[in-house]
Structure 1
Amino acid sequence: MRIAVYVPLLLSLLAPLGARPLSERCEPRLATCLLTASSLILGAASTISLGLLAVTGLIRIPLLAHLGHWSPSSAQHTDPAQLSIALIAGLLLGGAAITAGRMLWRRVRTLAAAAMDAACMPTRDGLVVTEDEAPDAYALPGLPGRVVISTGMLHTLDDAEHAILLAHERAHLSAHHYAFVALAQLGAATNPLLRPLANAVTYTIERWADENAVTVAG
């Protein structure tokens, strides 16, 4: 246990080094899944490691050990963490919990607002055109989602480019790319070392949508 408890933390240092090569060289769908899973798993594992370091260190304090019916002398003999390390781990764990909670709350509110906005945009084919001279286009998650395109964007595209843009944005909706981004960011919220993985996911979903657009548009 002395070594195993530090393994997730070590992997969190090494994993970001492979994020960029994986995102650029691997098939985008597979890269997205691997990066998202890595961010979630390492985020959860590093959180558990911090929890173990904090608990097994703090039970050296006689009062805390008594509350949990532990033996301070036994903990001191088998414990992998010094008290100072346990205190640092506890602070990091608290910060990770707060950051992850705030990120999750903001993400839920954002998705709920997007779903409400989409529900207020009735359309037959899922395409909503807004009166705006600034070129803009995005996928709006919902049940069902919408593709929103400004008139300024439409004026800059010919028919073929219009079809490619629609295919790209619809790929974001059909493949639930927003969920991959949210999950990867949740892992990074618990462990800031994993932010390169979450950033790579935002890149791979664009590659994924691009390849889908190529397939659809020929």
Structure 2
Amino acid sequence: MIFAVWIPLLVPLLAVPAARGLAESLPPRAAAWLLTGCAAALAGCTTAALGLLLAAGVLRLPPVAALGHLSPPLLGDRGDGAATVPVAGAAAVLLGAGALAVARHARRHRAELRTARHATGAHPATGDLVVLPDPAPEAYALPGRPGRVVVTAGMLRSLTADEREALFAHERAHLAGRHHLFLLTVALSAACHPLLRALRAPLAYALERWADEAAASRVGDRRVTARAIGRAALAARPDARAPWRPGGVLAATAGPVPRRVAALLADERTTGHPRVRAGFRGRRLIAAALLACVAFSAAAALDAAADLHESVEVAQGEAPR
């Protein structure tokens, strides 16, 4: 597995740019699923490759080889020069660091949500809506059971009645789609491979656009939705996040708001049909390249695992009893 085991570690160099490029030309919902699935698959292949490197090196240790009735020289007969003890040590460090980062991020995410729910639980809720008596304009979707749309009095004063309904519809779309799980999946995947961090920004944009379109469909007016998002973003202060607002939640004021507003104001009947047709072949090529990258990564990990298993069987069969 001298070559195959390294492939899952290198594939993100090609797969991440391909995923970002393809997501740009897809509808928001499809783009969100694509980016999340790609991140999870690549992270899984990376973890498997590091695990194989660790296992192959550990099997060369005399105490482990004796315990498994292995012949250490035969473990290297298949040209498995990659499976050395120092490489296994490096793989162990990377796996440990990744596991620690995943645990810390998951624990922090859970703690922030718990703190936010305690902070908002002291205020009465009207259905799924919680209004905080805070003059600072804030609004976000707080996941949980049940999910809540949290908005401050300052934000309500900044919007008209129809704009408020559009804002609430946007945040409810985040809750209904469980968009926080998309972000959490990519964040945990990035802890396994640093290159996957580049998928978080396009994913956040796709999720916001997904909620934008859901809100526009709900209120039946794209202009009102665009105006609500724009005015909410102007009123909010993204550089001064309130301490009771979790860092991993989604809000209508996040992301490149001017780009989102422009997308909402675009006439759906004339949104570049010739350009869509002209770019169809390019999208197919990018999609094929991305699928090939993910499939190649998974196949390489499986091939490396099969090769290691065969080496172990040979070493067990030839080891002295």
Both structures adopt the same fold (TM-score exceeding 0.5): yes
Give the whole-Å Cα distance in 1 for the aligned partners of 2:124 and 2:133.
16
Deviation of the 1:55 alpha carbon: 1.6
How far did 1:209 drift?
0.6
User: Contact 1:126/1:145 (CA < 8 Å) preserved in 2?
Assistant: yes
The whole-number CA distance in structure 2 between the counterparts of 1:85 and 1:211 is: 49
User: In structure 2, what residue type is equivalent to 1:124?
Assistant: T
Letter in 1 for 2:126: R
Classify the secondary structure of the residue corresponding to 2:126. coil
Aligned residue in 2 for 1:87: 89
Q: Which residue does 1:156 correspond to in 2? A: 158
Which runs of 5 or more structure 2 residues have no equivalent in the other structure?
221-321
Percent same amino acid at aligned positions?
Answer: 44
**RMSD over aligned Cα atoms:** 2.0
1:127 to 119, 126, 129: 129
Letter of the aligned partner of 1:145 in structure 2? G
Specify the SS of the correspondent of 1:42.
helix
1:52 maps to a residue whose letter is: L
1:144 aligned onto 2:165: no
State the SS of the aligned residue for 2:53.
Answer: helix
Q: C-alpha displacement at 1:205, in angstroms? A: 0.8
**Letter of the aligned partner of 1:8 in structure 2?**
P
TM-superposed deviation, 1:171: 0.5
Structure 2 equivalent of residue 202 of structure 1 = 204
1:176 corresponds to which residue? 178
User: Which protein shows a greater Rg?
Assistant: 2
Checking the alignment, whether the CA contact within 8 Å between 2:53 and 2:87 is kept in structure 1 is yes
Alignment correspondent of 2:195: 193
Three-state SS of the structure 1 residue aligned to 2:74 is helix
Mapped to 1, the partners of 2:123 and 2:202 lie a distance apart of 31
Aligned partners of 1:39 and 1:198 also within 8 Å: no
Amino acid corresponding to residue 2 of structure 2 in structure 1: R
Query: Aligned pairs, how many?
Result: 218
Q: Deviations over 1:105-134 (max 9, x none)?
A: 222333444455565554233112111221
Q: Deviations over 1:48-77 (max 9, x none)?
A: 100101221232232332233322111122
CA distance 1:147–1:109, change in 2 (3 Å): same
- Residue 101 of structure 1: aligned partner: 103
> Which consecutive unaligned segments of at least 5 residues does structure 1 have?
none
Please tell me whether the aligned partners of residues 2 and 83 of structure 2 are also in contact (alpha carbons under 8 angstroms): no
Change (3 A) 1:212 1:174: same
Inter-partner Cα distance in structure 2 for 1:118 and 1:135: 15
In the superposition, the TM-score normalised over structure 1's length comes to 0.89
Q: What does residue 38 of structure 1 align with?
A: 38
